[in-house]
C-alpha cells in the first residue's frame, strides 16, 4: 500500500509522495526496515543473467589470445551543430563506398565502411552514420559500447562552441579517444591554430604541441585532408586501442537502426562486434528473433558473411527491435525463440508494473490541481527505432520552466494499436504517431475512450505542438 510505504519512509526521515521515484539507497533502507532483502538489478544485468541461463556470455570473446584477430575501428562523428558532421559523413560515403544498387543510390543502413591505405596496407574504418553524441550516449546508456573512436568536428571559422565541449565530454566519459577534424579550412575566415589553442584548454593537446591528440585540417567541401583524417583514425586506433575480436564464434553485436519495410518486413542494421554473422544463422535481437534470410552491406551488395566491425542490414527477423538492443547468433531457432519470448515476457511485466503505478493517477491529478506536479504523459509510435529515439530525445529536452514536464510512458515502432490506446486511456496520455497510422479498431477505441491521437510527419512540428500544449498547461497568471 503506497500510503503505508510513504508513512514508513516518513518515519525514516524521507519526505516523499506516493508517486515519486526514490533512490536505490532509499529503497534498500525501506526494505531493511520492513525485513525484505532488496536487490536492485539493472535491465542489463538482468539480461546478462538471462543469457547466462542459456549458456551464452554476451560481450566476451570466446577462446584465448591466439583466437583474436585485428578488427577495424568503429567511429562516431560528433561536434557542434553546423560544423560539418553530416557533410563529412557524406563525403566519405560518396567517395569510398561504391554504389551498387539500381540507379546508383545506396540506402543508408545506419553505418558504413570505408577503406584507406596506411603504410601500404589496406585498412578499413566503420563509420556510424548518425552524427552527434545523442545516439552514441543513448546506446551507451543501454549498455552497448558501439564506438571505439570519436571524431570531433570543429569548424575552423567558428572555433570551439558549447556543443563541441559537450560532445568532447561525452567521448571522455565513455573513455573513447578523440581525433579532431578541424573543418572548413577552405573558408577565408578559417583559423585552425586558434582551434588547437582552444581545445588545449580542455585537455586535448595536439601532437605537434607535444600532446597525444591528432588534429587534422580538413574541408568536407573540397575534400582536402580527408585521407589524412582516415590515416589519423587508424594511427590513433593502433596507438591507444587493442582492437581485436574472435571472428570464429557465433556473432554478437548491437542493432544500430531498425524499421519495418512494407515488402521486406523487419529490417535491422547490425554492427557485428565479435564472431562472424552468416546467412542462415538463428538470431535474436532484443525481443525479436528469426533466421538471417539475407544480408546487405553498406555498399548495397548482398553478402553471405559479416566479420567483426562490419555493419550489415539483416532481413528475416520476426519483429522490429530497438536501436541499441543486443544482437546474437545462437545454436538454433528454438533457443532464439526462447530468449526472445523471455525478454518479451519481461518487457510486458515491466509495462504492467508501470500500469499498476498508473492507478494512482487520481493522486497525480490531485497534485496537479494543487499545483504540486504537472506533467504531460505521452506514448510515441514511429516508423523506425531511430526516429522514435530522436523524437523522444527532443521531447524530453523541452523545458517550459515551472514544474511542468513531459513523461514518455511507452514507445515503439509500428502502427498505433488498440493496446496503445488502452494504455493511453488508463494513464491520461496523448499518443503521438510519427509517420505511422492507427491500425484496426484503434481509432474507434480512441474515440470511445476520449484518447487524443496526433499524427506528424515532421519532428519539429511534433515538438512545437507539444511545447504549445505544455505552455497551455501553465497556470494562468491573474
Ligand atoms: P552538421 O550540423 O554538423 O551536420 O553540419 P553540416 O554538415 O550540415 O554542415 C553545415 C553547413 O556547413 C552546410 O551548409 C555545409 O555545406 C557547410 N560545410 C560543411 N563542411 C564545410 C567545409 O568544409 N567547408 C565549407 N565551406 N562549408 C562546409
Q: By C-alpha distance, which of 195, 171, 167 is closest to 181?
A: 195
CA diameter of the chain: 75
Which residues touch 169 (CB under 8 Å, ≥6 apart)?
A: none
Contact 98, 299 (CB under 8 A): yes
Q: Which residue has the cell 578541424?
A: 182
Per-residue pLDDT of the chain (478 residues; tens, 9 = 90+): 778 888 888 888 888 777 667 788 888 888 988 998 888 887 788 888 999 999 999 888 999 999 999 999 999 999 998 999 999 998 998 875 544 444 444 567 889 999 999 888 999 999 998 777 776 776 776 666 889 999 999 999 999 998 899 889 888 888 899 999 999 999 999 999 999 999 999 999 999 999 999 999 999 999 999 999 999 999 999 998 999 999 999 999 999 988 888 888 999 999 999 999 999 999 999 999 999 999 999 888 999 999 999 999 999 999 998 888 899 999 999 999 999 999 999 888 876 665 544 333 344 445 555 555 567 788 999 988 888 988 898 888 887 666 677 888 888 889 998 888 888 877 778 899 999 999 888 888 888 777 888 899 888 888 888 887 776 665 444 3
Q: Is 84 annotated as a binding residue?
A: yes
Atom of ligand 1 nearest to the CA of 222: 23
Cα(191) to ligand 1 centroid in Å equals 16
Cα(184) to ligand 1 centroid in Å equals 7
Which residues touch 88 (CB under 8 Å, ≥6 apart)?
A: 77, 151, 153, 181, 183, 218, 220, 226
Give the integer Cα–Cα distance in Å for 220 and 153: 10
Atom of ligand 1 nearest to the CA of 79: 3
Nearest CA to ligand 1 atom 16: 87
Handedness of CA 312, 318, 323, 329 (dihedral sign): negative
Q: Is 170 annotated as a binding residue?
A: no
CA angle 52, 55, 56 (to 5 degrees): 70
Nearest CA to ligand 1 atom 24: 184
0.80 exceeded by the pTM?
A: no
Task: State in Å, rounded, how far the first CA of the chain is from the last one.
Answer: 39
Q: Is the CB of 186 under 6 A from ligand 1?
A: yes
Burial class of residue 363, CB neighbours in 10 A (0-12, 13-18, 19+): middle
Q: Which residue has the cell 510513504?
A: 6
User: Helix 385-396 and helix 133-141: axis angle, to 10°?
Assistant: 100
Q: Is 85 annotated as a binding residue?
A: yes
Cα(104) to ligand 1 centroid in Å equals 24
Q: Is the CB of 86 under 6 A from ligand 1?
A: yes
Q: Residue 45: how many CB atoms within 10 A of its CB?
A: 12
120 phi/psi in degrees, rounded to 5: 65, 15
User: Helix 162-173 and helix 133-141: axis angle, to 10°?
Assistant: 30
Annotate 223-272 with DSSP letters as a single string. -TTHHHHHHHHHHHHHHH---EE-SSSB-EEEEEEEEEETTTEEEEEEEE
Give the integer Cα–Cα distance in Å for 237 and 102: 35
DSSP state of 207: G
Nearest CA to ligand 1 atom 11: 82
Q: Is 400 annotated as a binding residue?
A: no
Alpha-carbon Rg for the chain in angstroms: 24
Q: Residue 94: how many CB atoms within 10 A of its CB?
A: 10
Contact 309, 72 (CB under 8 A): yes
Amino acid at each position: 500500500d503506497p500510503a503505508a510505504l510513504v508513512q514508513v519512509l516518513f518515519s525514516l526521515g524521507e519526505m516523499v509522495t506516493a508517486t515519486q521515484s526514490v533512490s536505490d539507497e532509499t529503497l534498500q533502507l525501506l526494505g531493511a526496515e520492513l525485513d525484505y532483502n532488496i536487490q536492485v538489478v539493472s535491465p542489463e544485468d538482468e539480461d546478462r543473467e538471462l543469457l547466462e541461463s542459456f549458456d551464452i556470455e554476451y560481450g566476451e570473446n570466446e577462446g584465448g589470445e591466439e583466437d583474436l584477430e585485428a578488427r577495424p575501428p568503429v567511429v562516431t562523428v560528433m561536434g557542434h551543430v553546423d560544423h560539418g558532421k553530416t557533410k563529412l559523413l557524406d563525403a566519405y560515403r560518396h567517395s569510398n563506398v561504391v554504389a551498387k544498387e539500381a540507379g546508383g543510390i545506396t540506402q543508408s543502413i545506419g553505418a558504413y565502411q570505408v577503406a584507406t591505405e596506411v603504410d601500404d596496407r589496406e585498412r578499413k574504418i566503420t563509420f556510424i552514420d548518425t552524427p552527434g553524441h545523442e545516439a552514441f550516449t543513448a546506446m551507451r546508456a543501454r549498455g552497448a559500447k558501439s564506438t571505439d573512436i570519436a571524431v570531433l568536428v570543429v569548424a575552423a571559422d567558428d572555433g570551439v562552441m558549447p556543443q563541441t565541449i559537450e560532445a568532447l565530454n561525452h567521448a571522455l566519459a565513455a573513455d573513447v579517444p578523440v581525433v579532431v577534424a578541424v573543418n572548413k579550412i577552405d573558408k577565408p575566415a578559417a583559423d585552425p591554430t586558434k582551434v588547437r589553442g582552444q581545445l588545449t584548454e580542455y585537455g586535448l593537446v595536439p601532437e605537434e604541441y607535444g600532446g597525444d591528440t591528432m588534429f587534422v585540417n580538413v574541408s568536407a567541401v573540397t575534400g582536402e585532408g580527408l585521407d589524412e583524417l582516415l590515416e589519423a583514425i587508424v594511427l590513433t586506433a593502433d596507438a591507444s586501442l587493442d582492437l581485436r575480436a574472435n571472428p570464429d564464434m557465433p556473432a554478437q553485436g548491437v542493432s544500430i537502426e531498425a524499421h519495418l519495410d512494407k515488402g521486406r518486413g523487419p529490417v535491422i542494421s547490425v554492427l557485428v562486434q565479435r564472431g562472424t554473422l552468416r546467412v542462415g544463422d538463428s538470431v535474436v535481437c532484443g525481443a525479436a528473433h528469426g533466421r538471417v534470410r539475407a544480408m546487405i552491406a553498406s555498399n548495397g551488395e548482398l553478402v553471405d558473411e559479416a566479420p567483426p566491425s562490419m555493419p550489415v542490414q539483416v532481413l528475416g527477423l520476426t519483429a522490429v527491435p530497438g536501436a541499441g538492443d543486443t544482437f546474437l547468433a545462437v545454436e538454433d531457432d528454438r533457443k532464439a525463440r526462447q530468449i526472445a519470448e523471455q525478454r518479451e515476457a519481461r518487457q510486458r511485466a515491466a509495462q504492467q508494473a508501470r500500469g499498476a503505478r498508473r492507478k494512482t493517477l487520481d493522486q497525480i491529478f490531485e497534485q496537479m490541481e494543487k499545483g504540486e506536479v504537472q506533467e504531460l504523459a505521452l506514448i510515441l509510435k514511429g516508423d523506425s527505432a531511430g526516429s522514435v529515439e530522436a523524437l523522444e530525445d527532443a521531447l524530453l529536452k523541452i523545458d517550459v520552466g515551472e514544474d511542468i514536464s513531459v513523461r514518455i510512458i511507452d514507445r515503439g515502432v509500428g502502427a498505433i494499436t488498440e493496446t496503445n490506446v488502452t494504455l493511453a486511456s488508463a494513464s491520461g496520455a496523448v499518443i503521438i504517431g510519427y509517420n505511422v497510422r492507427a491500425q484496426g479498431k484503434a481509432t474507434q477505441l480512441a474515440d470511445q475512450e476520449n484518447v487524443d491521437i496526433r499524427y506528424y510527419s515532421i519532428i519539429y512540428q511534433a515538438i512545437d505542438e507539444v511545447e504549445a500544449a505544455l505552455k497551455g498547461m501553465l497556470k494562468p497568471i491573474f
